[in-house]
Amino acid sequence: MHPTVASAVMIAEFTRLVLGLLIATFHRPIADYMLEQERSLVVLFRERGVALPAVPSTQTVRTLYFYVGIFLALLEIFRIWLTLR
């Protein structure tokens, strides 16, 4: 593999790793924002007669975003390890 291409691949891998860590770090504000948007959509659809289930609790959504961030970070660490191996 050409060194420039290998560098670009590693930069992309580290960028994904940082993204996963940022999601895990800022999971509360991300989850709160997404939950607010979801609640707005549920109200909008219910006004138009579409029955939707209740939105999950705040703690559930925060935990979900934290786990998504950790999963992405671990996946990228594994991919980087495989690339360097």
- Tell how far CA 77 is from the center of its chain: 16
- Under the banding of pLDDT at 50, 70 and 90, the label for residue 45 is very high
pLDDT confidence band for 1 (50 / 70 / 90): low
Average pLDDT rounded to a whole number, residues 17-23? 96
Helix runs in 1-85, H state only: 3-25, 27-47, 58-84
Residue 72 · residue 16 · CB < 8 Å: yes
- Higher pLDDT, residue 67 or 54: 67
Instruction: Round to whole Å and give the CA distance between 30 and 40.
Output: 16
pTM beyond 0.95: the answer is no
pLDDT of residue 85: 81
* For residue 26, pLDDT beyond 80: yes
- Distance, in Å, from the CA atom of 70 to the CA atom of 26, rounded to the nearest integer, reads 11
